[in-house]
Amino acid sequence: MVNLATARPGDAKIVFTGPMGAGKTTAINAVSDSQVMSTEVPISDGAIGAKSHTTVGFDYGECQLEGGHALRLFGTPGQERFRFMWDILGAGALGLVVLIDNTRPDPIGDVEHYVRAFAARILPERMVVGVGRLDQAASPSIEDYCERLARIDARLPVLEVDVRRAQDVRLLLSVLVSLVEVQHE
């Protein structure tokens, strides 16, 4: 296990996951202290809504949290056909941020899918959920997410976020780091 109190910058790897369009690339860009490396390409079937590009490999950025913690941020592709990258990126990760667009047809089902997909590599105790676009779709509520996740023994922090706002994404990361630090005490 990584001790964040003594971790070197290369030791703290955080993975951002979620369906296509949930905001993984945007979130990493919002908080990265370095130039973000991205493998976004035009969507082969044409634009989906306002989204014209999608990640096919991974996104990578780095950020510093208060207290001197350096995090390496990896964003997964959201499309199921690139699922093999989830295992690659999940290996050795300190924690997982699941981003969800609340306007999707079954956003809670999406969260459950990603929690289960990563559970073999990252314990649910090291996961946090960020729900976006609650201003456009108030249902399901944050409480609905918590209740459904509790049914699968995944009692995760679930927060409303706007992935374009650095302070929202930093809050997700701070909560995740706090979860990990509590486990080390």
148 within a domain of the structure (yes/no): yes
At residue 57 the predicted structure's pLDDT band, cuts being 50, 70 and 90, is low
At residue 58 the predicted structure's pLDDT band, cuts being 50, 70 and 90, is confident
In the predicted model, is pLDDT for residue 40 greater than 80? no
57 within a domain of the structure (yes/no): yes
At residue 77 the predicted structure's pLDDT band, cuts being 50, 70 and 90, is confident
* H or E stretch at 166: helix 166-184
What is the percent of the chain with per-residue pLDDT over 90, rounded to a whole number?
61
Phi (first) and psi of residue 31, to 5 degrees: -115, -10
Left if phi > 0, otherwise alpha if psi is -120 to 50, otherwise beta: which for 34?
beta
Assess contact for 102 and 133: CB atoms under 8 A. Answer: yes
Q: What is the pLDDT of residue 4?
A: 45
185 within a domain of the structure (yes/no): no
Question: What is the span of the domain harbouring residue 33?
Answer: 9-179
Mean pLDDT of the chain: 85
66 within a domain of the structure (yes/no): yes
Question: 31-37 long-range CB contacts below 8 Å, 24 or more apart?
Answer: 31/61, 31/63, 31/73, 31/166, 31/169, 31/170, 31/173, 32/61, 32/62, 32/63, 32/73, 33/61, 33/62, 33/63, 33/64, 34/61, 34/62, 35/61, 36/60, 36/61, 37/61
Q: What is the pLDDT of residue 56?
A: 53
Which carries the bigger pLDDT value, residue 127 or residue 85? Answer: 127
2 within a domain of the structure (yes/no): no
44 within a domain of the structure (yes/no): yes
Q: What is the pLDDT of residue 5?
A: 45
In the predicted model, is pLDDT for residue 167 greater than 90? yes
| Domain of residue 90, CATH code | 3.40.50.300
How many structural domains compose the chain? Answer: 1
Q: What is the pLDDT of residue 9?
A: 40
Q: What is the pLDDT of residue 6?
A: 44
Q: What is the pLDDT of residue 64?
A: 81
